[in-house]
Chains A and B, each alone.
Chain A
Amino acid sequence: DVKVTQSSRYLVKRTGEKVFLECVQDMDHENMFWYRQDPGLGLRLIYFSYDVKMKEKGDIPEGYSVSREKKERFSLILESASTNQTSMYLCASSSPGTGDGNTIYFGEGSWLTVV
């Protein structure tokens, strides 16, 4: 079974703090993703990476950055947290290719509250 692990499940941070969300996958997947989920807005892609040290912006990259130093690890960074970044953050991974390669596997999510 694919395992995507998000190290922090629940975080409370102050406005202006730098926040790191860590994610590790154990399936040797090339692709990794960060989404956020908000009620009524569905899943929105923040950033993705298709290889080590490679990153691409998703639909809502503003206020975020990412780091992928190792294939299995993908970090999301909030340089200066703001209250509108209070959300559930979901890390995911997939292998390249068609068909089942389009299936994305998600971690359990990280609830971030910015006060």
Chain B
Amino acid sequence: DQQVKQNSPSLSVQEGRISILNCDYTNSMFDYFLWYKKYPAEGPTFLISISSIKDKNEDGRFTVFLNKSAKHLSLHIVPSQPGDSAVYFCAAIRSGAGSYQLTFGKGTKLSVIP
């Protein structure tokens, strides 16, 4: 049973516009969420995280929104740049759990078109 779902395998966005990547989770015990970015032939790199005590976290062009009641989070990239083209993984965990329990979604491939 997939506890973290990224229902869009791919997304194309024009350069300069907003990219919105979505993630849904089913386990109500999850209270810490992370986004990773992965370029081809490289390992994933940590991008941004959010704790369930917040509903928004911002870091430059990247903002993550958390809707606990809907068990939904989204990553907004504004403005999108060609260098943002990558696969984005959403991940979730329950605080206090070991990191091995970090549950990943299957990823969304973002293509930013110049």
Judge: A and B partners, yes or no: yes
Q: Is B62 part of the binding interface, using a Cβ–Cβ cutoff of 8 Å?
A: no
Contact of B41 among A40, A100, A105, A111 (CB under 8 A): A111
List A residues at the B interface (Cβ < 8 Å). Answer: 4, 6, 31, 33, 37, 40-43, 45, 48, 50, 56, 58, 90, 92, 94, 96, 98-109, 111
> Chain A residues with Cβ under 8 A from B46's Cβ?
103-105
Whether the Cβ atoms of A104 and B106 lie closer than 8 Å is no
Contact of A43 among B9, B44, B49, B93 (CB under 8 A): B44
Report 14 cross-chain contacts, Cβ distance below 8 Å, ordered by A residue.
Answer: A33-B100, A42-B89, A43-B44, A48-B100, A50-B98, A96-B98, A96-B99, A102-B95, A102-B102, A103-B34, A103-B46, A104-B102, A106-B36, A106-B43
Per-residue A-contact encoding for B79-107, CB less than 8 Å = 1, 0 else: 00000000001000101111110101111
Q: Is B65 part of the binding interface, using a Cβ–Cβ cutoff of 8 Å?
A: no
With A and B bound together, what is the CA distance between A101 and B99 in angstroms?
7
Whether the Cβ atoms of A56 and B100 lie closer than 8 Å is yes
With A and B bound together, what is the CA distance between A109 and B41 in angstroms?
7
Q: How many inter-chain contacts with C-beta < 8 Å in the A-B complex? A: 67
How far is the CB of A7 from the nearest CB of chain B, in Å? 14
Whether the Cβ atoms of B96 and A98 lie closer than 8 Å is yes
> Chain B residues with Cβ under 8 A from A108's Cβ?
41-43
Decide yes or no: A103 and B49 within 8 Å by CB, A96-B99, A98-B95 being known contacts: yes
Per-residue A-contact encoding for B37-70, CB less than 8 Å = 1, 0 else: 0100111111001010000000000000000000
Whether the Cβ atoms of B34 and A102 lie closer than 8 Å is yes
> Chain A residues with Cβ under 8 A from B97's Cβ?
102
Decide yes or no: A31 and B89 within 8 Å by CB, A4-B43, A111-B41 being known contacts: no
Whether the Cβ atoms of A42 and B43 lie closer than 8 Å is no
Decide yes or no: A40 and B106 within 8 Å by CB, A99-B32, A102-B93 being known contacts: yes
